Amino acid sequence: MEIPIWHNIHPDFKFNGFSCNLDDLSEIGYSLVKEGDSHEMVIGEFVLDWISNKPTLEVFTSGSTGKPKRIQLEKEHMVNSALATGEYFQLKAKQSALLCLPCSAIAGKMMLVRAMVLGLYLDEVEPTSNPLHHKQKRYDFVAMVPLQVEASLQELDRVGTLIIGGAPVNDKLRYELQGVSAKVYETYGMTETITHIAVKEIVPEPKTYFETLPHINLTTDDRSCLVIDAPRVAKEKVITNDIVELKGANQFTWLGRYDTVINSGGIKLMPEIIEAKLGPMMHSRFFVAGIPDEVLGEKLILVIEGEPFSTDEMLQKIKSQASISKYEVPRDIFFVKSLVETHSNKIDRPKTLATIIF
């Protein structure tokens, strides 16, 4: 019987310092499920699922723009995704990598798959805000979410290549990253594409556009939304709600979400673009949104996490920014004690708005 491609564990693969073949992974998986901490139990469950003969894996989408969906991913596609990442970043066997994302979501799962497929030396730590604090060693390849990067700025000299996903990188963090010794990339992707299919360089040469990994074809639909044709990682074309501007065959600029566009008095406003402009002057988490208005149809508001304060000075500061048009100035500011999050720790905008009395 032919050995499934996902059972071809690279002979150089190590997990937490120990060499691992297929049989070793079985023992590790059972041990983590039986004796591990909560985050280690999830790793163990994934390992046992991965080494089974079942060709598919059940995962949930992030739920960023709606209720999380249960989908099936082909393990062969996950192997192909790992190979594409290895090819793009020129990852080599015996290089070190850190797993600091929860294995309950696709991003954490794929760090394990990359290590098994490419022969990386993988360490795992509890997914905390500052994962590098737990390991005082250098890593060739690390994946984090923006919150972790923000808390790890002083320790990024111990990272060779850092990829950032899970949420857009705001201008403030982009600025703070300039000058770090690591090569840093923002990623674009989703669960349906098995994490990233494109990356945008932040350090050392900041780019304004994303560039695809190998074997990815891009088009747009009549909404100017990105359509991804990636037969090695997805059976069907993925039609997104991301408004983009294509730049050649394998590059694009991300402009915002079609389903979050605010129509205020006939002017279409992109929340993501406005948030990028507001980011450098904000000291806590926030987002902008549109709410019903009798005159404008929708009016732009700013929602800030934290205790309320006088907003007159902030509004004047916003209005004084040359990059912010008069239409992009929020008409009202609201405060919430805590932003509602999805199960994957992203801001749940609709549920947060539902907590506010307008």
Predicted local distance difference test score (pLDDT) of residue 136: 86
Same domain assignment for residues 182 and 199: yes
Predicted pLDDT of residue 66: 58
pLDDT confidence of 63, banded at 50, 70, 90? low
Q: Quick one: 216 and 311 in the same domain?
A: no
> From CA 128, how far away is CA 155, in angstroms rounded?
14
For residue 274, the domain's CATH number is: 3.30.300.30
Q: What is the DSSP letter of 341?
A: B
Are 337 and 188 found together in one domain? Answer: no
Lowest mean pLDDT among 5-14, 39-48, 59-68, 335-344: 59-68
| Token pair 């082909």: residue | 74
Supply the pLDDT for residue 156.
Answer: 96
At 6, give phi and psi (nearest 5°). Answer: -75, -10
Instruction: Determine the pLDDT at residue 58.
Output: 92
- Half-sphere exposure of 358 toward its Cβ, with a 13 Å CA cutoff? 16
Q: Indicate whether 228 pLDDT > 70.
A: yes
Domain count, the chain: 2
Q: Could you report the per-residue pLDDT of 102-122, keeping only the tens digit for each? A: 999 999 999 999 999 999 999
CATH of the domain at 249: 3.40.50.12780
The rounded distance, in Å, linking the Cα atoms of 34 and 296 is: 58
- The pTM of the full predicted model, rounded to 2 decimals, is 0.87
At residue 143, the pLDDT reads 98
Q: Which pLDDT value is given to residue 69?
A: 83
SS3 238: strand
Parent domain of 66: 5-257
Residues 327 and 348 in one domain: yes
- Distances in Å between the Cα of 78 and the Cα atoms of 115, 171, 223 are 12, 31, 30
